[in-house]
A and B are shown apart, each in its own frame.
Chain A
Amino acid sequence: DTEVTQTPKHLVMGMTNKKSLKCEQHMGHRAMYWYKQKAKKPPELMFVYSYEKLSINESVPSRFSPECPNSSLLNLHLHALQPEDSALYLCASSHPGQGEYEQYFGPGTRLTVT
C-alpha cells in the first residue's frame, strides 16, 4: 500500500461545531504531518509527529488539536473555527530516518467554516 488516505473529503462546519479530520497510512512511515493549503498558495506546515510524538507545532492556534493514536493514524480535532480557517487540509507521511525525506500527501479534506 503506497497511499495516504484522508476522511472526510469535504466538511462544512459552523463556528461552534467540533469535528475531526482523519488520516491513515500503511507504508510503515513514522513521521506524519498536517498542512493547511489556501487557494493558489503552497502547503503551509501546521504539525509534525515523529514516532507518535509531536515534534513541530508551527504556532498553530489552539482551536486546532492534533492527535497521533498510533503509527498509522493521525487526527486533527477542530473546535470553534473561524471562516478564515476554510482551506484544504493535507496530511502527509515520510520516514523520519536520516536520508529519507520524501513526503507523500493524502488527497486532503476541503473544509468550509460557515
Chain B
Amino acid sequence: GENVEQHPSTLSVQEGDSAVIKCTYSDSASNYFPWYKQELGKRPQLIIDIRSNVGEKKDQRIAVTLNKTAKHFSLHITETQPEDSAVYFCAAKGSSASKIIFGSGTRLSIRP
C-alpha cells in the first residue's frame, strides 16, 4: 500500500547550522508533497509543499527538493533558529485526490 518513510526520527543541530530531513514514498503516482511543522500542543502547520513537476522550491530559509526517479524528497532548513524547534512531518498525496499519507515525523531541536 501507500507508505511514506521519514528519517531521522530526532535531529539536534547547533543554532545557525543547517538541518535536513529526508523522506521516501512508495506510490509512483504521488504528485504532491507537503511538509508540516507542529509545535508542542499546537496544530500541524503547512510550511512548504512541492509538486511532481518541480525539482526544488525555496521559501526564505526553507527549501524542499524532489527526486521523482528515486522517490525521495527532502526538507532543508538553513541558518536554524530556536523557533525552528518542533516536530516536522513530510507527506505525500496518495491515489485519492483527498488523501495524504504522513511520514512518522522528525523531532528537531535547535541547541543555543
* Chain A positions near chain B (C-beta within 8 angstroms): 31, 33, 40-43, 45, 48, 50, 55-56, 90, 94, 96, 98, 101-108
* Chain B positions near chain A (C-beta within 8 angstroms): 32, 34, 36, 42-46, 49, 87, 89, 93, 96-100, 102-105
Contact A106 B105 (CB under 8 A): no
A25 to B24: give the CA distance in the assembly, Å: 32
How far is the CB of B49 from the nearest CB of chain A, in Å? 7
A108 to B44: give the CA distance in the assembly, Å: 10
A31 is contacted by which of B45, B46, B98, B103 (Cβ under 8 Å)? B98
A45 to B100: give the CA distance in the assembly, Å: 9
Contact partners of A108 in chain B: CB under 8 A: 43
Q: Choose among B32, B46, B97, B100 the residue with the greatest number of A CB atoms under 10 Å from its CB.
A: B97
A105 to B89: give the CA distance in the assembly, Å: 13
Contact A104 B32 (CB under 8 A): no
- With A101-B32, A101-B34: A43-B99 Cβ-Cβ less than 8 Å: no
Contact partners of B46 in chain A: CB under 8 A: 102-104
A101 is contacted by which of B45, B97, B104, B105 (Cβ under 8 Å)? B97
